[in-house]
Chain A
Amino acid sequence: MDKRWLSIKEKVENGERLNKDDGIYLFSVKDILSLGELARQVKLKKTGRDVYFNVNRHINLTNVCASRCKFCAFGKGLDDPEAYVMDVEEAVRLGREALPLNITELHVVSALHPELPFQYYVDVTRALHEAFPDIHIQGFTAVEIQYFSDISGLSVREVLQALKDAGLGSLPGGGAEILNDDLRRLTCPRKATSQQWLNVHRTAHQLGMRTNTTMLYGHIETIEDRVNHLIKLRELQDETGGIQSFIPLPFHPQNTAMSHIVRTTAVEDLKMLSISRLMLDNVDHVKAFWIMLGVQVAQVSLEFGVDDLDGTVVEEKITHAAGASTEPGIGKSELIRIIRNAGYNPVERDTVYNIIARY
């Protein structure tokens, strides 16, 4: 390996922060085994041999979306025959059906419905919380929160406070896509800007809610965009400490307006995960979202700096609309099996990383 690599390795081993140039250089490293070893070393220091997962149920309240981003295969127009909106009772019914699976989280992520009032989301949250007071509600991406603010005339803080009062526990990391406004204008022009996205997370942290963060990669972004994105998250984390995990999401092109793009390969996915671990020195958890990566690559990623495999994810619709060939949900026993088989300790966590059980 060359000098540049050795100096980066030394920095990481001394706990020094990597800069933007380091990040860009890491993407040019061909030897993914070295990246894996270094990222794994950082992971082991942070969370030892524990690998986390949770048992959750996804609820996608509606697929009607005013945003219609180019990388999305899920959003539909109001008059589309496949358009749907769930009423409050339906959402509660879905939650109740998942109770026998011993879920600890309801994961509520939806679309930007052009007609539903903000009150609907508050009502759903309250109904879910009242029906299942012990189950953590993680819901509403920063993009949805910003949209609620736009349609209600309330500030982002007021929106978050109202949802928190109704029972919202934390925010998922979706809608970050790539935090570069030139690219957002091209791919998702009607969505929250980079600053708005970051501001929602900052505000949530200030209100005492933890959040996850994501990046959608493998579409039209450059390596520099990816590194900038990681640095923006790292800076926010320095400020608030409220980011509990980072989840890089490979773009699934099928059925989207960018279907000409070739899906990233396993090598690129593992690179992205290990570099995320190396750049985000102040974030505890790097998560492999197996729904998008596939279970097989997600398992391999445990040797590349990942310490979380997300959840059992009953009935995920958004990635599957874009042609993900993974199963829509896998059982807890399968998650435990692949973690154990990789030589790590399977740990079931709740949404905010309290340990529920070790297996």
Chain B
Amino acid sequence: MKPGVILAEILEGRRISGEEFLFLYQEADLLALARAAVTIRDRRFPNDLITFIIDRNINYTNVCSCRCKFCAFYREATSPDAYVMGKEELFRKIEEAVNAGATQVMIQGGLHPELGIDYFTDMFSSIKRKYDITIHSLTAPEIVHIAGVSGLTTRETLQRLAAAGLDSLPGGGAEVLHDEVRTRISPNKIRTAEWLRVMQEAHEIGLKTTATMMMGSLDTVEHRLAHLEAIRELQDKTGGFRAFIMWTYQPGNNELMGSKVTSLEYLRMLALSRLYLDNFAHVQGSWVTQGKQIGQLSIFFGADDLGSVMLEENVVRAAGLAYKASKEEIIDLIRKAGKTPAQRDTAYNILKIF
């Protein structure tokens, strides 16, 4: 095997195997990977646009029975700073978001033992009555939890939520889809098979989702490959994933600690993800976990989207990060990378070119 040969074959449209992925991870020159990833990206999106979305993250509760070791956000129900958000506050936040130009709300929270299906159907339908906004909300672990609390199947839960106004699901809670990792970092969270089943059910009833990966805690490159294999396979079956979003684990204020993934490790994995996931249209660069500088460089490593100009992000901030990027800053970063900035909606329709 030679990295150059494999890369040339990828550019001819050949799908790569897991073995080749591992080989490229070990052996390929970073800039050669970047070049291939950018070439593939540009073929899919020849318009030179790099997109972003304006949205607001709303975390309805921080009470969580999951208590993942990498998480700095969760609280016990009895903790003095535990909360469940009321409707008034929820509406105020959405109102602010709409006024700031947001087209999407991402409502996510802890696995609260008392919040069942009615809380969410009521929340979503009342949002839809008042606002013209996309509800891109609830991760697979939340779906499983809500189903459990309410005595429903996950399919029924998804159907009822969709009927109430849920538009699509974010890919959170996937962490790394390998049970060796999950049992160590998030022992109380759903396992790989369940995450994939919820995603498949969502796709089958017409809800699109994204797929995320949080790399860099206790995972090896083989674990990450297993993750990519699982989502590529499901995507072949359903076509329901809109994008792949890779985050890096943030050590700080949690049980796991450890050290941070370096920027080159992140960029290498990003480029490889673009090459491996030949059936994913969109690959997102993460300025939230990597910072604006590496976020900008992700454009040269295969990303076509910089995610969101977030109005609020409590979970990442709780781990000690306070990256804020206004719309103007994101536009400036994209322009200075020599690309054309464009605002998109949840379905990746272009709303405005800057």
Seen from chain A, the residues whose Cβ lies within 8 Å of a Cβ on chain B are 30, 32-33, 36-37, 40, 262, 265-270, 294-297, 299-300, 302-303, 337-338, 341-343
Contact B263 A300 (CB under 8 A): yes
Bound CA–CA A342/B336 (angstroms)? 25
A299 contacts which chain B residues (CB < 8 A)? 262-264
Q: Which residue of A lies closest to B265 (CB)?
A: A341
Bound CA–CA A290/B46 (angstroms)? 35
Contact B300 A32 (CB under 8 A): yes
A303 contact from B30, B259, B262, B294, Cβ within 8 A: B30
- Is B38 interfacial (CB 8 A cutoff)? yes
B295-315 to A contact mask, C-beta < 8 Å, 1/0: 011001000000000000000
A265 contact from B259, B264, B333, Cβ within 8 A: B333
- Is B320 interfacial (CB 8 A cutoff)? no
Bound CA–CA A300/B301 (angstroms)? 12
Residue of B31, B290, B293, B338 ringed by the most chain A CB atoms within 10 A: B293
What are 22 A-B pairs at a CB distance below 8 A?
A: A33-B35, A33-B38, A40-B31, A265-B292, A265-B336, A267-B300, A267-B338, A268-B336, A269-B293, A294-B291, A295-B263, A296-B263, A296-B294, A297-B263, A297-B293, A300-B264, A300-B294, A300-B297, A303-B30, A342-B262, A342-B264, A343-B30
A266 contact from B31, B262, B293, Cβ within 8 A: B293
A33-B35, A37-B31, A342-B264 in contact; A337/B296 too (CB < 8 A)? no
Bound CA–CA A166/B294 (angstroms)? 45
Bound CA–CA A37/B29 (angstroms)? 10
Seen from chain B, the residues whose Cβ lies within 8 Å of a Cβ on chain A are 30-31, 34-35, 38, 259, 262-265, 267, 290-294, 296-297, 300, 332-333, 336-338
B336 contacts which chain A residues (CB < 8 A)? 265, 267-268
* Minimum distance in angstroms from B188 CB to a CB of chain A: 32
B294 contacts which chain A residues (CB < 8 A)? 266, 296-297, 300
Contact B34 A267 (CB under 8 A): no
Bound CA–CA A297/B336 (angstroms)? 16
B265 contacts which chain A residues (CB < 8 A)? 341
Contact A262 B264 (CB under 8 A): no
Instruction: Tell me the interface secondary structure of chain A in the complex.
Output: helix
Q: Which residue of B lies closest to A268 (CB)?
A: B336
* Minimum distance in angstroms from B291 CB to a CB of chain A: 6
Given contacts A294-B291, A296-B291, A337-B262, 18 further A-B contacts (CB under 8 A): A32-B300, A36-B31, A37-B31, A265-B292, A265-B332, A265-B337, A266-B296, A267-B338, A296-B290, A297-B293, A299-B263, A300-B263, A300-B267, A300-B297, A338-B264, A341-B265, A342-B262, A343-B30
* Minimum distance in angstroms from A53 CB to a CB of chain B: 15
Q: Shortest 4 CB-CB distances between A and B: which pairs?
A: A266-B293, A30-B338, A296-B263, A265-B336
A30 contacts which chain B residues (CB < 8 A)? 338
* Minimum distance in angstroms from A281 CB to a CB of chain B: 21
Contact A33 B34 (CB under 8 A): yes
Bound CA–CA A268/B338 (angstroms)? 10
Bound CA–CA A102/B146 (angstroms)? 57
* Minimum distance in angstroms from B191 CB to a CB of chain A: 30
Contact B264 A303 (CB under 8 A): yes
A297-B263, A341-B264 in contact; A267/B31 too (CB < 8 A)? no
A265-B333, A342-B264 in contact; A296/B293 too (CB < 8 A)? yes
Bound CA–CA A341/B336 (angstroms)? 28
Bound CA–CA A300/B296 (angstroms)? 12
A265 contacts which chain B residues (CB < 8 A)? 292-293, 296, 332-333, 336-337
Bound CA–CA A278/B262 (angstroms)? 26
Bound CA–CA A296/B264 (angstroms)? 8
Bound CA–CA A51/B308 (angstroms)? 36
Bound CA–CA A270/B336 (angstroms)? 12
Q: Which residue of A lies closest to B262 (CB)?
A: A341
A338 contacts which chain B residues (CB < 8 A)? 262, 264
Contact B35 A266 (CB under 8 A): no
Bound CA–CA A296/B290 (angstroms)? 9
Contact B262 A267 (CB under 8 A): no
Contact A33 B262 (CB under 8 A): no
* Minimum distance in angstroms from B17 CB to a CB of chain A: 23
A295 contacts which chain B residues (CB < 8 A)? 263
B35 contacts which chain A residues (CB < 8 A)? 33
B338 contacts which chain A residues (CB < 8 A)? 30, 267
* Minimum distance in angstroms from B249 CB to a CB of chain A: 15
* Minimum distance in angstroms from B15 CB to a CB of chain A: 24
Q: Which residue of A lies closest to B30 (CB)?
A: A303
* Minimum distance in angstroms from A41 CB to a CB of chain B: 10
Bound CA–CA A36/B332 (angstroms)? 22
A294 contacts which chain B residues (CB < 8 A)? 291, 293
A32 contacts which chain B residues (CB < 8 A)? 300
* Minimum distance in angstroms from A268 CB to a CB of chain B: 6
Bound CA–CA A341/B262 (angstroms)? 8
* Minimum distance in angstroms from B34 CB to a CB of chain A: 5
Q: Which residue of B lies closest to A325 (CB)?
A: B291
A302 contacts which chain B residues (CB < 8 A)? 264
Q: Which residue of A lies closest to B335 (CB)?
A: A265
Q: Which residue of B lies closest to A30 (CB)?
A: B338
* Minimum distance in angstroms from B59 CB to a CB of chain A: 26
* Minimum distance in angstroms from A353 CB to a CB of chain B: 24
Q: Which residue of B lies closest to A298 (CB)?
A: B263
B262 contacts which chain A residues (CB < 8 A)? 296, 299, 337-338, 341-342
